[in-house]
Amino acid sequence: MVYTAYIEVQSKGRRDVIDITARVAEKVEGTGIRHGIATVFVEGSTAALTTIEYEPGLVRDIDIFLEQILPYAAPYRHHETWHDDNGAAHLQSALLGTSFTVPVVEGKLTLGTWQQIVLIDCDTRPRKRKITVQILGEK
């Protein structure tokens, strides 16, 4: 069976890190799938999905790390194309990725205790994000 569910998130932008683990788990558990995979995907080229230990220190570390390698204020060719200001956000998204897959075993996501699924909205302004959760497997 294949199930598709959606999660909507309002972000503040500027690398807002939002823990969506409980919402993804709820979608998976709602299907009754016992064994399979869950793919999580965010629409848009300035947001990212990954897993981290969701605690304030690491959330800040991610922000500092991305600013060091892809600062918002640097000159990007993308700004010349569209007179846009979010070249860094596109590159941060491309670096982190917009999708990943989690195995589902015995009806649960196989995440570690200190491993949360997070949306990182890299854009320079608040955004409403649509995340697709597709669950494939057997009951």
- Binding residues vs Zn ion (CB under 5 A): 84, 86
By C-beta, is 76 or 102 nearer to Zn ion?
Answer: 76
At closest approach, how far in Å is the CB of 123 from Zn ion? 8
Would you list the DSSP string of 47-77?
Answer: EEEEEE--SHHHHHHHHHHHHHHS-TTS--H
93 to each of 16, 24, 108, 116, how far by Cα in Å? Answer: 13, 20, 27, 18
By C-beta, is 27 or 127 nearer to Zn ion?
Answer: 127
At closest approach, how far in Å is the CB of 90 from Zn ion? 6
Maximum separation of any 2 CA atoms in the chain, in Å: 52
By C-beta, is 31 or 86 nearer to Zn ion?
Answer: 86
At closest approach, how far in Å is the CB of 85 from Zn ion? 8
Which residue's CB comes closest to Zn ion? 84
Q: How many CB atoms lie within 10 A of CB 40?
A: 25
